[in-house]
């Protein structure tokens, strides 16, 4: 099976892909953006895709929500990966000499207490592993990169300081995508809906949420995204704690549609810890 994931090498997305699709018969294919992964699934270039949807610290990864709106794909799985960030350095570097820290803005934001204490300047890269690779190439002893242990291994860097994240329970949630539903949907226990209201009116989200609570459906995640048509108008991603086969979930969809909202079922899945 061909599996598309977000590169470059050494990112948490690669780690999630390798762990989830650990079967040796799977061929993992690296893409340079989340959109490219979604497109590859949509166009049948790969059989499965894996993309990050939410990080415990940073919140929703909006490239993924927005990509789901524009692609015809099905969410068939969910996986949660613990995230540990380290300060990587070139061999022989001393922690106290590091005056510049390289990484992506969210990773730097997650290590704010540490970087502040280090009194180090920060420099932005496109990925944590891209920062690690640049550091390795530069050979600089006065700079460090915030990245994963996998990145340290790949780019031959040392871990100058382990677990530098402010918060100890960081993790990232990934979605596993296919073109269409596979396997036994009756074994799933979560589903994701995209609700696009046809009119903007006071109390809109309250009305939508009441449909779920009136049917005793617990919601595990709600995210509003701009319609991109007018500032202040939104669509809603809602994750319900029921698979799409459940009769109550079907009722909720019917009621929401009767209210005039556009409802798209994006997938039905179970969660898995990595």
Residues lying near a copy of itself in the complex (CB under 8 A) are found at 35, 54-59, 62-63, 66, 80, 105, 109, 112, 123-126, 167, 169, 171, 173, 202-203, 205-207, 209-210, 212-213, 216, 218-226, 228-232
**In the complex, least distance from residue 210 CB atom to a copy of itself, rounded to whole angstroms:** 6
21 neighbors 3 (Cβ within 8 angstroms): yes
Closest distance of CB 6 from a copy of itself, Å: 13
- Residue 76 or 78: which CB sits closer to a copy of itself? 78
Least distance between a copy of itself and beta carbon 219 (Å): 7
Between 26 and 33, CB nearer to a copy of itself: 33
Q: Which is nearer to a copy of itself, 26 or 171 (CB)?
A: 171
- Measured from the CB atom, the residue of 95 and 121 that comes closer to a copy of itself is 121
Tell the smallest beta-carbon distance from residue 125 to a copy of itself (Å): 7
- Supply the angle between the helices 62-70 and 34-42 in degrees, to the nearest 10: 30
Minimum separation from the CB atom of position 229 to a copy of itself (A):
7
Spatial separation of the C-alpha atoms in residues 210 and 34, rounded to whole Å: 33
What is d(CA 47, CA 73) in angstroms, rounded to the nearest whole number? 11
Using CA atoms, how far residue 223 sits from 86, 117, 207, in Å, is: 30, 34, 15
Q: Indicate the residue among 66 and 189 with the shorter CB distance to a copy of itself.
A: 66
Q: Which residues contact 203 (CB under 8 A, 6 or more apart)?
A: none
Between the CA of residue 19 and those of 16, 117, 258, 274, what are the distances in Å?
Answer: 5, 34, 42, 7
Q: Which two tokens stand for residue 216?
A: 């005793």
């Amino acid at each position: 099976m061909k599996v598309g994931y977000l590169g470059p090498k050494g990112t948490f997305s690669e780690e999630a892909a390798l762990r989830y699709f650990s079967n040796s018969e799977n061929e993992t294919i690296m893409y340079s953006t989340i959109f490219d992964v979604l497109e590859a699934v949509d166009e049948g270039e790969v059989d499965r895709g894996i993309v990050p949807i939410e990080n415990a610290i940073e919140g929703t990864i909006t490239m993924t929500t927005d990509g789901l709106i524009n692609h015809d794909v099905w969410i068939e799985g969910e996986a949660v990966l613990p995230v540990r960030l380290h300060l990587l350095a070139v061999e022989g570097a001393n922690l106290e000499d590091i005056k510049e820290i390289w990484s992506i803005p969210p990773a730097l934001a997650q290590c704010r207490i540490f970087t502040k204490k280090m009194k180090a300047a920060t420099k932005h890269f496109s990925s944590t592993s891209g920062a690690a690779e640049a550091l390795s190439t530069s050979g600089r002893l006065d700079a460090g990169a915030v990245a994963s242990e996998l990145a340290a291994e790949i780019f031959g860097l040392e871990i100058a300081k382990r677990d530098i994240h402010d918060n100890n329970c960081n993790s990232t949630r990934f979605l596993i995508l296919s073109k269409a539903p596979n396997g036994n949907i009756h074994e799933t226990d979560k589903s994701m809906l995209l609700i696009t209201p046809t009119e903007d009116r006071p109390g809109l989200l309250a009305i939508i949420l009441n449909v779920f609570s009136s049917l005793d459906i617990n919601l595990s995640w709600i995210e509003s995204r701009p319609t991109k048509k007018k500032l202040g108008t939104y669509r809603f991603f809602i994750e319900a704690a029921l698979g799409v086969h459940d009769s109550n979930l079907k009722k909720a969809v019917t009621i929401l549609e009767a209210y005039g909202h556009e409802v798209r079922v994006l997938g039905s899945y179970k969660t898995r810890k990595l």
